[in-house]
């Protein structure tokens, strides 16, 4: 579903990604872990077609970036630590706007379905600026799944959430993953990542330095694996 | 392997579900969606409109009290004062319009839509133009009363429309660039005013001509220039917008 070969990203003289290789099979939930400045967000922005690679090959959902970016975007849902929602619109209006941008059929029915999925059906006519951070993040996930994407990218979705909001987000993420989507999520929260992801990749100094599946992890634990990968 | 197979199967099932995305999107629907969203949000907050309107009224008031001109001189400075007012207030509106997109990451949300990105540009141009024209419609009668000058001349209104299109066309493009920098509030006017000078010069010249009831042949050149600038700015923005919004 996602294939990346020898990806390099430079900003001026600074090289962020240094020949990164990465592959994700359909239905996998990959947690991309790594220290600050490792290049996780830059990598996700390239996968989301928001940034161009300097060198290398990137294929998402069978389409090559950046040449076939529109096709990729139609099959991609992105959630970041920013909600990507308009505070002066209601939850319903935000979803209506994105439904129009994606030219979706049966928009009203789909919006209701998505609002029910993220548990915001009763708040559909409330302005987003009146929502708590956790509610905004759940609506952001609703926005991202509105067009039923095959691939979902989550960039630090737990940032700024309290314990309750994080738990609710866990449930929404599990629902999203259980629908058979391919998910790549960056996170600093190893415990939560360990709970929901099926594979764990460590990104450090612009390359994937280690990778382990949930099955393999049973023998050790994620924190030990993470520390070891960074030490190597 | 079994897990993988079941995941692929459920992916296929999902793909046959009620909702299926339209890969191509639709240019005009995307443009109208952006306009609808901007109008709806502005209708609620009135942030952008009220800031532009109050600023415009303050400028014409300040000019009125500062210059203390006789009737004849007032008429001769009208075009300049009007366009200075529109240009300053317009900058305020353009900055705010793009800041709304940037502050909550909404610009990324727009860029993730599977539509030609120039649809986003044209949507923003239309909504910015509508805000600017509404402010101008309110400013004109106030100016007429304060300066005792009739501004409701069809030719002048046409020049205001053409000048506003050119100003907003280039302003929206530059606001998209400047909003991605830390110094966005001061960067926009610094970038915009030198580039938009041809539009402002032609608009002032043409407005002056209509206010002085000059012959059409005398006004035709600045009007043609305005039309040419509008087309050029819109075409250039259409071509470069995709590159400007991408990192």
Task: Please indicate, yes or no, if residue A178 is contained in any of the structural domains.
Answer: no
pTM (global) more than 0.90: no
Task: Please indicate, yes or no, if residue A224 is contained in any of the structural domains.
Answer: yes
Task: Please indicate, yes or no, if residue A83 is contained in any of the structural domains.
Answer: no
- Residues of B whose CB is below 8 A from A160: none
Question: What are the sequence ranges of the domains in chain B?
Answer: 27-245
Task: Please indicate, yes or no, if residue A35 is contained in any of the structural domains.
Answer: yes
Going from the C-alpha of A174 to that of each of A60, A128, A196, the distances in angstroms are 22, 24, 7
Q: How does residue B186 score in pLDDT terms, banded at 50, 70 and 90?
A: confident
**Tens digits of per-residue pLDDT, A129-163?**
999 988 998 999 999 999 989 999 999 888 877 77
For residue A69, the domain's CATH number is 3.40.50.300
**B36 CB within 8 Å of a chain A CB:** yes
| CA gap A177, B11 in Å, rounded | 10
CA distance B40 to chain A (A): 7
Q: What is the three-state SS of B186-232? A: HHHHHHHHHHHHHHHHHHHHHHHHHHCCCCHHHHHHHHHHHHHHHHH
Q: How does residue B32 score in pLDDT terms, banded at 50, 70 and 90?
A: very high
Nearest to B4 among A25, A106, A148 (CB): A25
If one compares A185 and A179, the residue with the highest pLDDT of the two is A185
**Tens digits of per-residue pLDDT, B114-151?**
999 999 999 999 999 999 999 999 999 999 998 888 88
CA distance A183 to chain B (A): 12
| CA gap B95, B189 in Å, rounded | 9
Residues 6+ apart with CB under 8 A from A208: A20, A21, A22, A201, A202
Q: Do A103 and B36 touch (CB under 8 A)?
A: no
**A141 CB within 8 Å of a chain B CB:** no
Residue of A nearest to B117 (CA): A70
| Whether residue A18 has pLDDT greater than 60 | yes
CB count, 10 Å around CB of B50? 12
Collapsing DSSP to helix, strand or coil, A55 comes out as: strand
Q: How far is CA B37 from the centre of its chain?
A: 15
**A179 CB within 8 Å of a chain B CB:** yes
Task: Please indicate, yes or no, if residue A71 is contained in any of the structural domains.
Answer: yes
Task: Please indicate, yes or no, if residue A103 is contained in any of the structural domains.
Answer: no
**B38 CB within 8 Å of a chain A CB:** no
Mean pLDDT, rounded, of chain B:
86
Q: How many domains does chain A have?
A: 1
Task: Please indicate, yes or no, if residue A139 is contained in any of the structural domains.
Answer: no
- What is the DSSP-derived secondary structure letter of residue B179? T
Instruction: Give the domain extent around A38.
Output: 1-75+192-232
Task: Please indicate, yes or no, if residue A107 is contained in any of the structural domains.
Answer: no
CA distance B236 to chain A (A): 21
**A98 CB within 8 Å of a chain B CB:** yes
| CA gap A66, A73 in Å, rounded | 11
| CA gap B89, B56 in Å, rounded | 6
């Amino acid at each position: 579903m996602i294939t990346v070969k020898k990806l390099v990203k430079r900003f001026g003289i600074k090289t962020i990604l240094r020949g990164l290789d990465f592959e994700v099979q359909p239905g996998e939930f990959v947690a991309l872990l790594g220290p600050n400045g490792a290049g996780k967000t830059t990598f996700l922005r390239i996968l989301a077609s928001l940034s161009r690679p300097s060198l290398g090959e990137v294929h998402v959902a069978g389409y090559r970036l950046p040449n076939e970016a529109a096709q990729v975007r139609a099959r991609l849902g992105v959630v970041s630590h920013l909600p990507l929602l308009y505070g002066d619109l209601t939850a319903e209006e935000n979803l209506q706007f994105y439904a129009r941008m994606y030219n979706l059929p049966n928009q009203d029915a789909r919006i209701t379905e998505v609002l029910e999925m993220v548990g915001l059906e009763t708040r559909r006519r409330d302005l987003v600026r009146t929502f708590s951070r956790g509610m905004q993040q759940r609506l952001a996930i609703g926005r991202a799944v509105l067009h039923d994407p095959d691939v979902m990218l989550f960039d630090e979705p737990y940032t700024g959430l309290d314990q309750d909001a994080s738990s609710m987000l866990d449930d929404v993420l599990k629902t999203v993953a259980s629908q058979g989507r391919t998910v790549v999520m960056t996170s600093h929260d190893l415990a939560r990542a360990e709970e929901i992801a099926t594979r764990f990749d460590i990104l450090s100094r612009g390359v994937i330095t280690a990778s382990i599946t949930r099955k393999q992890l049973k023998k050790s634990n994620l924190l030990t694996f993470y520390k070891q990968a960074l030490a190597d | 392997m079994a897990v993988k197979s079941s995941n692929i199967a459920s992916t296929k099932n999902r793909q046959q579900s009620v909702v299926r995305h339209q890969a191509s999107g639709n240019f005009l629907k995307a443009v109208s969606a952006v306009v609808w969203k901007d109008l709806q949000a502005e209708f609620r907050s009135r942030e952008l409109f009220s800031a532009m309107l109050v600023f415009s009224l303050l400028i014409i008031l300040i000019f009125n009290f500062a210059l203390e001109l006789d009737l004849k001189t007032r008429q001769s400075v009208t075009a300049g004062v009007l366009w200075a007012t529109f240009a300053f207030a317009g900058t305020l509106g353009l900055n705010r319009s793009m800041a709304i997109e940037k502050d909550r990451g909404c610009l990324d949300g727009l860029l993730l839509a599977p539509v030609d990105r120039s649809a986003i540009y044209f949507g923003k141009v239309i909504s910015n133009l509508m805000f600017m024209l509404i402010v101008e419609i309110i400013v004109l009668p106030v100016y007429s009363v304060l300066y005792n000058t009739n501004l409701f001349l069809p030719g002048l209104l046409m020049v205001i429309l053409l000048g506003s299109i050119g100003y907003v066309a280039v302003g929206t493009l530059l606001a998209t660039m400047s909003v991605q920098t830390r110094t966005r509030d001061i960067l926009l006017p610094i970038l915009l005013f030198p580039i938009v000078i041809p539009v402002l010069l032609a608009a002032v010249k043409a407005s002056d001509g209509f206010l002085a009831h000059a012959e059409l042949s005398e006004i035709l050149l600045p009007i043609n220039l305005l039309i040419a600038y509008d087309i050029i700015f819109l075409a250039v923005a259409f071509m470069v917008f995709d590159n400007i919004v991408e990192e």
